[in-house]
Amino acid sequence: MTLPTTEKTAFLRRRFGSFLAATVLVLTTGAGVALAEGVPSLGELSSGPFSRMHMLLEKTLLKVDVAVIEVAVDKTTQGKLASAAAGKTFSPALEGELAKIVLSADEAIVQMKFVRDVSFGQWIDGVRESLDKALAAGLVSAALKKQVSDGMPIWFKAAEPRGFKTGDRIVYRVKQNSLRSLIVQNDGKVVVDRSDEGADKGDMTLASFFAPGTDYRTLLLQSLK
């Protein structure tokens, strides 16, 4: 399923003004200052119906469980999702409508909790695959996709020797003009705490989960209740 033109337009129009400047300033300088804050919690944005999404990620033909993905959205987005879904059965059309709302969220928290060991390289490959889907849908530029794809092995290098073990988490805290990315080991140790300024960083993160054809979009949106 391709992303409707209206979905692309609404997603890009809201934040296009800061896109080019933020990309050059943040990604080419490699800015990523660890913040003196606690690990973001899924419960800190909103609660109740249509505030959370969740799914179990399976990979390979063997249907191996890899990670539990959870997404929380802000209260305004929660209300929009509830209104859009009211009285409707899930369908491709509703999926597109709900995805458009999530892609335009002002705030979101995405958490990936591993249920099996995964190598650093496998994770990088998975992110790049999702970015390819976002690029194909017109939700990220080729230049931004390349910069992020090339930069990730450097930005998250602290996690490379150990890889990801069962119970480890990757947490993304999306705000209107920033993205905070954390890698938290199963013993609670934070090995990466990176902050990037610019609205496009959060947009890119949401696009990598909610672009058409990703492993996440349909299952996450179907879980909304």
The pTM assigned to this predicted structure is: 0.83
- Of the candidates 182, 128, 174, the one whose C-alpha atom is nearest the C-alpha of residue 155 is 182
| Confidence (pLDDT) at 61 | 56
Residue 29 has pLDDT above 90, yes or no: no
Greatest Cα pair distance, the chain, in angstroms, is 49
CB atoms within 10 A of CB 40: 18
Confidence of residue 200 (pLDDT cuts 50, 70, 90): confident
- Show me where the domains of the chain are located: 5-222
Q: Are 115 and 65 in contact (CB under 8 A)?
A: yes
Q: Which two tokens stand for residue 102?
A: 């999530």
| Confidence (pLDDT) at 46 | 87
Q: Are 160 and 120 in contact (CB under 8 A)?
A: yes
35-62 confidence digits (pLDDT tens): 446 999 999 998 999 999 999 999 865 6
| CATH number among 1.20.210.10, 3.30.2230.10, 3.50.70.10, 3.40.50.10490, domain 5-222 | 3.50.70.10
